Structure 1
Amino acid sequence: MIMKNILLPTDFSKNSRNAISYAMELFKNELCTFYVLNVQKATGYTTDDLIVSPANRSIHQTVTSQSKEKLKMVIEALEKETIGENYSFHPLTDYDVFTDAIKQTVTSKNIDLIVMGTNGATGAKEVIFGSNTVNVIRYVECPILVIPQEYVFATPKKILYTLDDNDHFSTEGIIPLTDLLIKFKASLKILKIKEDDTITVSEFDDKKQMNHFFKDVNHTFHMITNVPITLAIDSFVQIMGVDLNALYVHKETFLDRFFQRSDTSKLSYGTRVPLLILRK
């Protein structure tokens, strides 16, 4: 059995705890090392604050001490909840820019996957991705599984693999998706979102390659044309009863079309199911 190294960022919110609970269910019966990371924002304090406090103890020491105590409580609870599983937990505290802390941990701990919450508020029709989540998706080169706020774990029996008009099939970085397909014996729905219904030679070749690559998986092909990408995905997920959506995100192409800037200056996407970001 191959061990997986999973990073679980937490700000001790209900949202991040829910994402951690999802991870505990998703990786059942697997050998996993979970790194539970809390990052304190260094820019939230002045230089003088960091140097001294009334008790001759720096704010840095005080804040990290509080973080470590909370992490200890979180891990104790997780260990009790997952008795019998091949899980090990390690607390990590950092005092840095959030994405920098994530990048450093991914490298130093050889992380296979990051599992995190949407880090934002749930609206009537959409989940707003907070800046931390969006920045991790933008700048951290590691597969990421984003769990919508208050989403209750459901065995992923129907998985969606979404390709943008500019995407071409590649097996590079696809292991997180194939692992889920194999573990849960899930069916795969491959969705191509295009501006028109013209079929190119490269798309024909892509379909041929995917047919071969996913030959042992129950898979079907679908295409939606001339519909905004977020609306296309949201509609497909509802109609087809999808449990998880997987896609590659590319800077300045799919990413900017996938996340749309809202009036609140936050990036939003109406995801109803967990979102698996793959990396090439």
Structure 2
Amino acid sequence: MKNILVLTDFSTCSRNAIQYAINFLKNETCCFYVMYVHKSGSFTLDDLMSSATANVYDSVLKAEKARLHKLKVELDEAAEEQHEFHAIIDYNSFIDAIHRTIQEKNIDLLVAGFNGVSNAAEILFGSHTLSIIRRINCNTLVVPEDVKFHPPKTMLVPLDVKDDIQSEAFDKILTVVRQQNIHAHVLRVYEKGFTGNRYDESFLLKNCKDINYTYNVIENVPLDYAKSCYVQMHDIDTIGLIVQKESVFDRLFKHSSTTTISKTLKRPLLVVHP
């Protein structure tokens, strides 16, 4: 059984991400943990710990607990036989809460919505999702708000010079490609021209006989341009990224404003870490 952590703030964006994940994993036995992280606001952990009863905790989170319970009931009623749902509510910091839950529940996949919003206090997603991608070492599926589920047929996997095609991270992407029967478009980008030995094609020929893939090399072109042009020229459903320090993700997004990122991320994004 796979353990899936799905983040919610009860927005349309987060509900869409939950539904996408359910459909994406329709044929797999999964335990979904749907988690809401309460904003700390005016109270602290010390305030709760110093209370003589649990009433402080209950009163602060009463409304959120009710909404989360209602969401769980809705998911249970529509659930596939092989899916089960559990609700988690936390009042820790956003990233710390995710870290702890991943460790405690042995999470295989983290799911988050993305709407490009970072300045609206009531919305968890946007800049928070970018923090998740950079700071959470867990396979992550990011679902843009406007993307409705349809079985993915193609995935673009852009690789820069630091990404090793023989790595465990790349193998994680191949695992999803095999499970979902996806055509992988592997795009190796040498921004400053080729240096070193080319072994991608020999590796793919030897180890990927059971999948459909296309392999291309682009030189002397910025990675974000190569990625954007490739997506425009090909029918791409999803994007798979290996994220590490100074990696593809940073090169694609590190100078981007929130508006630019929201316009760029129009397809589900599968993030893996070395």
TM-score normalized with structure 2 length: 0.86
- Between 1:209-218 and 1:253-262, the stretch displaced more is 253-262
Question: Kindly, what percent of the aligned residue pairs are identical?
Answer: 37
Aligned residues: 265
In the alignment, does 2:22 pair up with 1:24?
Answer: yes
1:66 maps to which residue?
63
1:184 aligns with 2:180: yes
Cross-structure match for 2:232? 238
Bigger shift: 148-157 or 164-173? 164-173
1:234 to partner: Cα distance: 2.3
What is the match of residue 37 of structure 2? 39
2:78 partner letter: E
Tell me, yes or no, if the aligned pair for 1:260 and 1:268 is still in contact at 8 Å.
Answer: no
Alignment correspondent of 1:76: 73
Alpha-carbon distance, 1:117 to partner: 0.6
The equivalent of 1:98 in structure 2 is 94
Are residues 47 and 242 of structure 1, via their aligned partners in 2, closer, same or farther at CA, if it must alter by over 3 Å?
closer
Q: Which runs of 5 or more residues in structure 1 are unaligned?
A: 123-128
**Aligned pair in 2 of structure 1 residues 253, 48: CA closer, same or farther (>3 Å)?**
closer
The SS at the match of 1:153 is coil
Q: 1:86 aligns with which of 72, 77, 82?
A: 82
State the Cα deviation string for residues 166-209 of structure 1 (Å, max 9, x = none): 222134134542333223322111001221443631xx223322
1:170 alignment partner in structure 2: 166
In structure 2, the CA distance between the partners of 1:163 and 1:263, relative to structure 1 (3 Å rule), is: closer
Given the two structures, how large is their TM-score scaled by the length of structure 1?
0.85
CA distance, structure 2, for counterparts of residue 137 and residue 147 of structure 1 = 12
* Contact persistence 1:34–1:88 (CA under 8 A): yes
**Equivalent residue of 1:155, what SS?**
coil
Query: How far apart, CA to CA, are the structure 1 residues paired with 2:214 and 2:156?
Result: 10
Q: Name whichever of 231-240 and 44-53 sits farther off.
A: 44-53
**Aligned position for 1:125:** none
Q: Give the Cα separation in 1 of the matches to 2:191 and 2:167.
A: 24
Report the CA distance between 1:213 and its aligned residue. Answer: 1.8
Describe the superposition over 1:105-162 as per-residue Cα deviations: whole angstroms up to 9, x where unpaired. 110000001011115349xxxxxx7221111111111011101111011211111111
Structure 1 residue 17: Cα displacement? 0.6
Contact 2:17 2:111 in 1 (8 A): yes
> CA 1:260 to 1:216, structure 2 compared with 1: closer, same or farther past 3 Å?
same
Aligned partners of 1:6, 1:244: CA distance in 2, in Å? 19
- 2:255 is equivalent to residue 261 of structure 1: yes
Where 1:261 maps in the other structure, the secondary structure is coil
State the AA in 1 paired with 2:38.
Q
SS in 1 for 2:4: strand
Change (3 A) 1:266 1:110: farther
Residue 136, structure 1, aligned to residue 116, structure 2: no
Q: Distance in 1 between matches of 2:247 and 2:181?
A: 32
175 and 113 in structure 1: CA distance in 2 versus 1, 3 angstrom threshold: farther
227 and 88 in structure 1: CA distance in 2 versus 1, 3 angstrom threshold: same
Partner of 1:212: 206
